[in-house]
Amino acid sequence: MSDEQEILVPEVVASRVPQFIPTTLIEQFKQAGAQTLADAKLFTVENTEEYNLAMEYRRQIRQEVDGVLKIADPICAGLHQAHAAACELRAAMTKDFNSAESHLDTEQKKHIERQREAEEKLKAQQLAEAKRLEDDRRKALAKELEKAGEPERAQEVLAAPMDDLVLPHTQSLMPKSSAGGNRQIWTVEVTDIIALARFVSGNPLLKYFIDANETALRKYAVDTKGQMAIPGVKFKQKDSISVKR
């Protein structure tokens, strides 16, 4: 068998792979598989005899598959072992680098949190000052209105809300760097699945907020044999035919 007839495996994992598969053997299996598929498509099961013939043919197909797996599985196992070893090596080589970056990331986030608190404190101070100035302005205006004989308007001026106060623009205290930047990332934690379900039931357009656990539903169907109904769920029973090797 020449080198051109082999599936070559990189040297880094070659020692972990038990054997090679000749390309000629691959073609042989592919041709056999294509012929088996073509023959299987000619089958129609109309009676018990044809049912049994199909079962026997399936048994033969399983034997062919077993023959393929006996060759391919050791190679897959070797490659998986090599991949695991490479991943372990990569983790060991990058561990300290990742730890260093993690430490710096933590320190940066602490700084950002302190700066955010400072910004909020500054905005609160600016808001308090803006309210004080607005209050002084309104009192002065109300005093003039009272002198002018308009006490009702004076009271309206004093009672008006201060929701639309314009604060002076201030430079953000958040750090900036040409090497990167920070952005806020939202995370979600579901604390009450029942409350979420009630909310979604009242807002059908948001039904994508909840994914049905089909694995759990399938187990429930098996345990109850599909006799216990669940609103919005339809249980279907399918036949599964086992083939003996």
**Amino acid identity, residue 189?**
E
The whole-angstrom separation of Cα 23 and Cα 73 is 16
The whole-angstrom separation of Cα 126 and Cα 132 is 10
The whole-angstrom separation of Cα 146 and Cα 136 is 15
The whole-angstrom separation of Cα 40 and Cα 53 is 11
168 DSSP 8-state letter? P
Q: SS3 of 114, please?
A: helix
Q: Is 238 left (phi over 0), alpha (psi -120 to 50) or beta?
A: beta
pLDDT number for residue 167: 65
Query: What Rg, from alpha-carbon coordinates, does the chain have?
Result: 37
Contact 78, 13 (CB under 8 A): yes
pLDDT number for residue 5: 41
Q: Is 228 left (phi over 0), alpha (psi -120 to 50) or beta?
A: beta
Contacts of 4 (CB under 8 A, 6+ apart): none
pLDDT number for residue 235: 86
The whole-angstrom separation of Cα 78 and Cα 9 is 11
Identify the residue whose tokens are 């049912």: 51
pLDDT number for residue 97: 92
Contacts of 73 (CB under 8 A, 6+ apart): none
pLDDT number for residue 30: 86
16 DSSP 8-state letter? T
CA atoms within 13 A on the CB side of 66: 9
| Size of the chain, expressed as the number of residues it contains | 245
Q: SS3 of 22, please?
A: strand
The whole-angstrom separation of Cα 224 and Cα 221 is 5
Q: Please tell me the pTM assigned to this model.
A: 0.46
Low-confidence ranges of the chain (pLDDT < 50): 1-18
Q: SS3 of 233, please?
A: strand
The whole-angstrom separation of Cα 85 and Cα 93 is 12
The whole-angstrom separation of Cα 182 and Cα 62 is 56
